């Protein structure tokens, strides 16, 4: 049978790439652009901060559950059809989100949007992989990584601009014209490049069990900080349900003749070891840093949302540039070598550069210090995907689905760890400042501030404002040190991923590219 990439012209390949990239870009952009406008949605939807968090949680859980469907549906009906349906679901649900009038409506529509994103992301890489010859798979993944890694960094800027000049609803509505054009293009020009069976073979029992485990785990991770983790019965029940469902899922897979996931792909060293590296380095290290940076600019530095986005574009540009460069290099040298460059840069950033980000550092200097992190991310995605998917052959679709599912799970772990570490270290430094404070010096400092404020306010009010000022300053310093600690701790998670990279290097006989 003639390989699919030989059946299309160069012009068709370019068109397929554009269609897939636009769909993937708007889907990934939506994961960060919405985070920015969440506080502004509370009043129109008549809810509080904890209620509005379900807008993010519902999207994340629906996307994870949707990804579990993609490999089976793509194999049965074709990945191009799954992509096209995903764009349609995402576009329609975006319009519905833009018109939502209650929290319940928003949660339902965001869940549908998450399923649309899962169908898009779970099929996009498989389509690109099939459209390019093996010797250009690195380039294909580099192009894909350009959109996937650049879109999240653009989210805060785009979200801030749309909110300040229009309305928070335009964060969703902007997807409608782009998604509609993308759907029409996909419907008419996106060919089926991956063979499919036209017969659905699907293990519903395993799917329900794994979906239950995933939903329980993701809700537990997103709500753990709010409920006090395992001090809460709610979190304990979620952990129990997740663990039991996961055990029953594995029992179901062992007994089934048609397992939901073909775990034999993890026996392929390139895929199994790369997924271990991907899990710790992306989910536990890079995602933590990506989550912390906007918090640093907004919460500690006090920058507006739009300015935060502009400062994050400093490293986002380098992500885009080095995604293409690393993709091209992955076709010429071993991807393991490029991943070593990415890993070393990440370690340098987490140990030496990012811990320099504090309250006193000018925002422009902070943006410059994040550029090596952008290079680390830019040299990560393309070689990682090329290395993992290259040996899978016709099982590449399953590999893509697993990669994206793992991205959601690991990213949720990383975000939860970053939030917990930041709050704990801030509390530690605040209490440490209290215990080390010299009482006489503190009293003199309080009197000095009170004296200056008494020229403006009555003495009782001046004393109260002076105490509040000292408390706020102490809190600010505690968070400044906490951000430095949390950035530094990401090194340890990256180091765990480094063990898998060393195993990959050994497996490939010290960087010798496999035939």
273 and 248, same domain (yes or no): no
Q: How far apart (Å, rounded) are the C-alpha atoms in residues 396 and 5?
A: 15
Please indicate whether residue 40 or residue 374 has the higher confidence score (pLDDT): 374
Residue 462 confidence class, pLDDT cut points 50, 70, 90: low
CA–CA distance, 512 with 515 (Å, rounded to integer) = 9
CA pair distance 158, 171, nearest whole angstrom: 8
Q: Are residues 44 and 77 in the same domain?
A: yes
- For the cut 90, the answer to whether the pLDDT of residue 63 exceeds it is no
**pLDDT higher than threshold 50 for residue 511:** no
Whether residue 137 is found in the same domain as residue 212: no
Q: What is the pLDDT of residues 9-28, one digit of tens each?
A: 888 888 999 999 999 998 88
To the nearest whole percent, how much of the chain has pLDDT over 70? Answer: 88
104-108-110-111 Cα dihedral, nearest 10 degrees: 140
Q: Do both 210 and 196 map to the same domain?
A: no
Considering the domain architecture, whether residues 230 and 180 belong to the same structural domain is answered as no
Is the distance from CB of 486 to CB of 418 less than 8 angstroms? yes
Q: What percent of the chain has pLDDT over 90?
A: 32
Q: What is the mean pLDDT of residues 252-274?
A: 87
308 and 216 belong to one structural domain: no
Residue 180's pLDDT band (boundaries 50, 70, 90)? Answer: very high
How many other CB atoms are there within 10 angstroms of residue 99's CB atom?
A: 12
Q: Please count the other Cβ atoms lying within 10 Å of the Cβ belonging to residue 410.
A: 22
Range of the domain at 448: 263-514
Residue 102: predicted pLDDT: 87
Q: Can you tell me the distance from the alpha carbon of 242 to that of 216, in angstroms, rounded to the nearest whole number? A: 5
Asked whether the CA dihedral 192, 195, 200, 203 is positive or negative, the reply is negative
Query: Domain boundary at 167, 200, 233, which?
Result: 200
Q: Which of 321-325, 430-434, 438-442 has the lowest mean pLDDT?
A: 438-442
Average pLDDT over residues 173-193: 90
Distance CA 192, CA 144 (A): 19
> How many Å apart are CA 319 and CA 338, to the nearest integer?
14
Closest CA to 265 of 135, 133, 394, 73: 394
Q: Which residue has the tokens 């928070």?
A: 168
Looking at the fold, whether 115 and 221 belong to one and the same domain comes out as no
231: exposed, middle or buried (C-beta count within 10 Å: 0-12, 13-18, 19+)? exposed
Residue 366 to residues 311, 373, 474, Cα–Cα distance (Å) = 8, 12, 22
Same domain, 255 and 284: no
Whether residue 262 has pLDDT greater than 60: yes
Last residue of a domain, one of 176, 200, 224: 200
Tokens (6 digits) for 68 = 């579990």
Q: Computed over its alpha carbons, how large is the radius of gyration of the chain? A: 24
Q: Half-sphere exposure of residue 223, counting CA atoms within 13 Å on the CB side?
A: 27
Task: Kindly state whether residues 159 and 213 are assigned to the same domain.
Answer: no
Residue at which a domain ends, from 200, 225, 250: 200
Q: How far apart are CA 412 and CA 372, in angstroms?
A: 24
Mean of pLDDT values over 266-283: 91
**CATH number for the domain harbouring residue 96:** 1.20.1250.20
Average of per-residue pLDDT across 285-310: 86
- Rounded to 5°, angle at Cα 100 from 98 and 105: 130
Q: Does residue 370 sit in the same domain as residue 415?
A: yes
pLDDT at 115: 93
Residues 85 and 227 in one domain: no
* Domain shared by 67 and 137, yes or no: yes
Helical spans, DSSP H, in 331-395: 335-348, 363-369, 371-378, 381-389
Arithmetic mean of pLDDT, 278-291: 90
Least confident of 19-28, 61-70, 463-472, 501-510: 463-472
Number of domains present in the structure of the chain: 3
- The Cα 453–Cα 462 span in angstroms is 5
Exposed e or buried b per residue across 46-82, where buried means at least 16 C-beta atoms within 10 angstroms of its C-beta: ebeeeebebbbbbbbbbbbbbbbbbbbbbbbbbbbbb
The predicted pLDDT at position 515 comes to 39
């Amino acid at each position: 049978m003639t390989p699919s990439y030989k059946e299309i012209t160069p012009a068709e390949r370019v068109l397929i790439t554009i269609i897939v990239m636009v769909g993937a870009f708007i889907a990934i952009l939506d994961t960060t652009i919405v985070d920015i406008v969440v506080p502004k949605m509370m009043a129109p939807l008549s809810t509080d901060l904890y209620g509005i968090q379900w807008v993010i949680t519902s999207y994340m859980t629906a996307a994870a559950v949707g990804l579990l469907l993609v490999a089976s549906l793509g194999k049965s009906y074709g990945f191009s059809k799954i992509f096209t349906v995903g764009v349609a679901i995402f576009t329609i649900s975006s319009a519905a989100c833009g018109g939502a009038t209650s929290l319940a409506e928003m949660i339902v529509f965001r869940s549908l949007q998450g399923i649309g994103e899962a169908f898009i992301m779970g099929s996009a890489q498989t389509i690109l992989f099939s459209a390019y010859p093996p010797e250009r798979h690195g380039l294909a993944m580099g192009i894909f990584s350009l959109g996937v890694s650049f879109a999240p960094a653009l989210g805060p800027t785009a979200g801030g601009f749309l909110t300040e000049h229009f309305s928070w609803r335009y964060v969703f509505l902007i997807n409608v014209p782009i998604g509609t054009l993308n759907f029409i293009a996909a419907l008419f020009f996106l060919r089926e490049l991956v063979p499919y069976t036209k017969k659905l073979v699907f293990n519903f029992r395993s799917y329900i069990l794994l979906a239950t485990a995933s939903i329980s785990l993701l809700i537990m991770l997103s709500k753990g900080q709010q409920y006090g983790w395992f001090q809460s019965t709610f979190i304990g029940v979620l952990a129990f349900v997740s663990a039991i469902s996961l055990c029953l899922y594995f029992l179901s897979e062992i007994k089934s003749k048609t397992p939901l996931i073909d775990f034999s792909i993890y026996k392929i060293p390139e895929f199994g070891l790369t997924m271990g590296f991907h899990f710790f380095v992306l989910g536990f290290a890079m995602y933590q840093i990506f989550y912390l940076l906007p918090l640093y600019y907004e919460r500690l530095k006090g920058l507006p949302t739009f300015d935060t986005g502009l400062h994050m574009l400093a490293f986002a540009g380098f992500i885009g540039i080095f995604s293409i460069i690393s993709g091209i290099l992955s076709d010429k040298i071993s991807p393991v070598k490029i991943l070593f460059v990415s890993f070393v840069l990440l370690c340098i950033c987490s140990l030496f550069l990012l811990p320099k980000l504090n309250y006193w550092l000018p925002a422009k200097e902070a943006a410059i210090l994040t550029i090596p992190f952008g290079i680390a991310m830019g040299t990560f995605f393309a070689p990682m995907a090329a290395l993992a998917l290259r040996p899978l052959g016709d099982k590449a679709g399953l590999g893509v689905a697993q990669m994206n599912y793992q991205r959601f799970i690991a990213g949720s772990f990383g975000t939860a760890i970053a939030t917990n570490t930041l709050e704990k270290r801030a509390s530690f430094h605040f209490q440490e400042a209290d215990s080390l404070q010299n009482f006489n010096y503190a009293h003199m400092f309080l009197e000095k501030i009170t004296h200056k404020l008494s020229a403006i306010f009555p003495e009782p009010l001046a004393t109260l404002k002076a105490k509040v000022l000292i408390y706020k300053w102490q809190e600010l310093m505690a968070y400044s040190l906490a951000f430095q600690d949390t950035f530094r701790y990401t090194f340890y998670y990256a180091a765990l991923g480094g063990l898998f990279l060393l195993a990959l290097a050994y497996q490939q006989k010290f960087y010798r590219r496999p035939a």
